[in-house]
Amino acid sequence: MDWSQLVVPSLRSLNPYRPGITEEKLRRDTGLSEIFKFSSNEAPVPPSPAVAAAMRDALAQANRYPDAQDLLDKLGQHLRVPAGHLVLGNGSIDVIASLVRTFVSRERNVVLSEFGYCAYPEFVKEQGATVRLAASGRHFGHDVERLLTTIDSRTSMVLVDSPTNLSGHALTARELGYLIDYLPDHVLLVLDEAYAEFTDADAPRETEQLPLRHPNVVVTRTFSKAYGLAGLRIGYGIADAGLIGWLNRIRPPFPVSRMALAGASAALDDRAHVEHIVALARDGRRVLVDALDAMNIVVLKGSANFVLANFGRAARRVYEGLLARGFITRAMHAYGLPTHIRISVGTPREVEQLVTEMQHLLRPTPSVHATVEGL
């Protein structure tokens, strides 16, 4: 059966999202018992006991559909945003996909950055709409001037990740202010802040308040990264209440499970655990950058829970060598950067072991000439 003839025409050019290799797959493929995962920017520690207990309690009522209002209220208090300005999703990516479905159609376009999150273009193509790419700026970050000049009369959305999925580079408060000030009224700015909690002092503060002052700004965040709940799949959007009303019309009933709601609610209360994950990321980032610097590898520290390193000609050897030893990192082919490897921060012990393996793999192999001379 040629399914491509039967699917909706706008879907024919879509590529499936290729997640990084999972621990389960590498274990199956290699038979290694100990696997270290540095590839999907997850938290390196399991949920706290309080979160695990809340999820167990929710499991006991899994026969009932969930009610999201308690979490919406709690999240609203935490963010100082009325609950009517919030929408929950099956991961923040679900909220982003819903925004594109709601606001982008065939005759419109979406402005993305050249090195923006690689998952975005497929959502736009799915709508039969056009992507207009703005060249990226320093450190693969967004160039707000170029984003603005790429907007035309058919642009319905500018979608940016800050910090970015590729390099962790974040917009500064000035850059974000400029982008919002000069954004035409007919354009929605979707600010994907999956890594917001990891940013440093110069990052824009209180961006969760932006949609209250600017109805054409939407902010998305997630419980997957700093809250350590990637496997639960829960994220949220902050937006104008009217916009949320439209989103809710296209959302499937009960998009977030009872377990995810309970886990996220307990995670919001457990500030010590979030702070622990953020501290692990910040400290680990520094250790990785210092170690890679010492190996003469160009590395971007970024403001998230990972670093991006350019291994040049050694990239393939390092990536595959690490994989063979059970260390999963992320080769950046999806971004057209075959010499770059993105490394999520692990626990201090994991980071130390990874550094040792990288040092081993990068050790110069003696050339024939040197060997002969040495005889």
Ligand X SMILES: Cc1ncc(COP(=O)(O)O)c(C=O)c1O
What gap in Å lies between CA 312 and CA 331, rounded to an integer? 12
Among 39, 92, 113, 303, binds ligand X (CB under 6 A): 92
Output 192 or 357, the one with its CB closest to ligand X.
192
Q: Is residue 224 at the binding interface for ligand X, with CB under 6 A as the rule?
A: yes
Q: In what side-by-side order are the strands of the sheet with 217-222? A: 86-89, 235-238, 217-222, 188-192, 155-161, 109-113, 130-134
Least distance from C-beta 281 to ligand X, angstroms? 13
323 in helix, strand or coil?
Answer: helix
- Contact 233/244 with Cβ under 8 angstroms? no
> Binding residues for ligand X, how many (CB under 6 A)?
13
What gap in Å lies between CA 25 and CA 121, rounded to an integer? 27
Continuous H helices in the chain: 3-6, 23-30, 49-59, 69-79, 92-103, 120-126, 144-150, 173-181, 210-213, 241-250, 258-269, 271-294, 315-324, 348-362, 368-374
Output 194 or 361, the one with its CB closest to ligand X.
194
Least distance from C-beta 164 to ligand X, angstroms? 7
Output 208 or 357, the one with its CB closest to ligand X.
208
Q: Is residue 165 at the binding interface for ligand X, with CB under 6 A as the rule?
A: yes
Tokens of 173: 């408060």
Q: Radius of gyration over alpha carbons of the chain, in Å? A: 22
Least distance from C-beta 35 to ligand X, angstroms? 19
Output 92 or 216, the one with its CB closest to ligand X.
92
Q: Buried (b) or exposed (e) across 135-158, using 16+ Cβ within 10 A?
A: ebbebbbbbbebbbebbeeebbbb
Least distance from C-beta 230 to ligand X, angstroms? 6
- Contact 152/109 with Cβ under 8 angstroms? yes
Least distance from C-beta 186 to ligand X, angstroms? 25
The piece of 91-99, 148-156, 171-179, 276-284 that touches ligand X (CB under 6 A) is: 91-99
Output 20 or 326, the one with its CB closest to ligand X.
20
Q: Is residue 235 at the binding interface for ligand X, with CB under 6 A as the rule?
A: yes
Among 38, 115, 117, 306, binds ligand X (CB under 6 A): 117
Binding positions for ligand X, 12-31, rule CB under 6 A: none
To 10 degrees, the CA torsion angle through 134, 138, 142, 145?
-70
Q: Is residue 93 at the binding interface for ligand X, with CB under 6 A as the rule?
A: yes
Among 39, 41, 98, 167, binds ligand X (CB under 6 A): 41
Tell me the residue nearest to ligand X as measured from the CB: 91
Positions in the binding site for ligand X (CB under 6 A)? 41, 91-93, 117, 161, 165, 192, 194, 222, 224, 230, 235
